[in-house]
């Protein structure tokens, strides 16, 4: 039943939010498999459920109905502590607004998710992102493109099987957006990291191998 090649399997996943008296079907019965080593973009207008899909995929949010298998494991059976452990070891998040901790240096931000900090590994990742001279800089001393590269390094530090990026180019100019997408593409092609991005930007989606369109909580293509 469970396909070893799938990192993620959504089975009739529903997510219902309640806003006052109104019920909103953010996800309305989504069936989706994400293959190991794939590079997928999810597009769609605001409110189409693409961010919710990403949150559910990253166990930041739990489905109201249906099942989600992450590496074959039913996420609804995980305790809060196990969810946190999964997020730490299996998933790397990249956010639209970078979300680096402002009081920590570049290097410290990258080391934050590590249980046993390995500065050499963090430096190696930062070097790969072209940030070899910025270890001690604070986030507000970096450009948006640089901050996003730090956050990619942070996402990669625990060798996750999946990178989830929510509008990774949303706050960047087109040149920086291209740099970030190239980095993600390189990680996917050369290191086999499975990546899902949510984006509004068709140029960003072009870097991915597969694009999923969403509307009203459903996948339409």
95 or 218: whose CB is closer to other proteins? 95
Left (φ > 0), alpha (ψ -120 to 50) or beta: where does 66 sit? left
Q: Is 16 in the site for other proteins (CB under 8 A)?
A: no
Q: Are the C-beta atoms of 196 and 163 separated by less than 8 Å?
A: yes
The closest of 199, 215, 209 to 54, measured between CA atoms, is: 199
Q: How far is the CB of 54 from other proteins (least distance, A)?
A: 10
Nearer to other proteins, 32 or 53 (CB): 53
* By CB under 8 A, residue 117 contacts other proteins: yes
H or E element, residue 61: none
Q: Mapping DSSP to helix (H, G, I), strand (E, B) and coil, where does residue 119 land?
A: helix
The single residue among 80, 120, 190, 221 that binds other proteins, judged by CB under 8 A, is 80
Considering only 36, 67, 104, 135, the residue that binds other proteins (CB under 8 A) is 104
- Residue 55: what are its φ and ψ, rounded to 5°? -65, -40
Angle CA 44–46–52, to nearest 5: 80
111 binds other proteins (CB under 8 A): yes
Using CB under 8 A, which of 25, 33, 99, 211 touches other proteins? 99
The residue length of the chain stands at: 221
Q: Does 64 bind other proteins (CB under 8 A)?
A: no
| Interaction residues for other proteins, span 161-220 (CB under 8 A) | none
Give the residues lining the site for other proteins (CB under 8 A): 55, 58, 60-61, 80-81, 84-89, 93, 95, 99, 101-104, 108, 111-114, 117, 154, 158
């Amino acid at each position: 039943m469970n396909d070893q090649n799938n990192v993620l399997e959504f089975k009739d996943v529903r997510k219902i939010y309640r806003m006052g008296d109104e019920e909103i079907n953010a996800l309305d019965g989504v069936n989706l498999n994400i293959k190991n080593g794939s590079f997928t973009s999810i597009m769609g207008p605001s409110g189409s459920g693409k961010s919710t899909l990403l949150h559910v995929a990253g166990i930041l949010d739990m489905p109201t109905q249906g099942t989600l298998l992450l590496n074959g494991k039913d996420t609804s059976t995980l305790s809060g502590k196990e969810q946190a452990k999964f997020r730490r070891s299996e998933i790397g998040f990249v956010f639209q607004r970078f979300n680096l901790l402002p009081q920590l240096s570049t290097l410290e931000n990258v080391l934050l998710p590590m249980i046993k900090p390995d500065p050499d590994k963090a430096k190696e990742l930062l070097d790969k992102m072209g940030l070899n001279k910025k270890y001690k800089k604070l986030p507000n001393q970096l450009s948006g493109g640089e901050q996003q590269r730090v956050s990619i390094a942070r996402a990669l530090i625990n060798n996750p099987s999946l990178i989830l990026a929510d509008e990774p180019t949303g706050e960047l100019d087109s040149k920086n957006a291209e740099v970030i997408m190239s980095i993600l593409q390189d990680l996917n092609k050369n290191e086999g990291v499975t990546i899902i991005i949510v984006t509004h930007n068709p140029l960003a989606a072009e870097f991915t191998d597969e694009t999923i369109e969403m509307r009203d909580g459903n996948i339409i293509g």
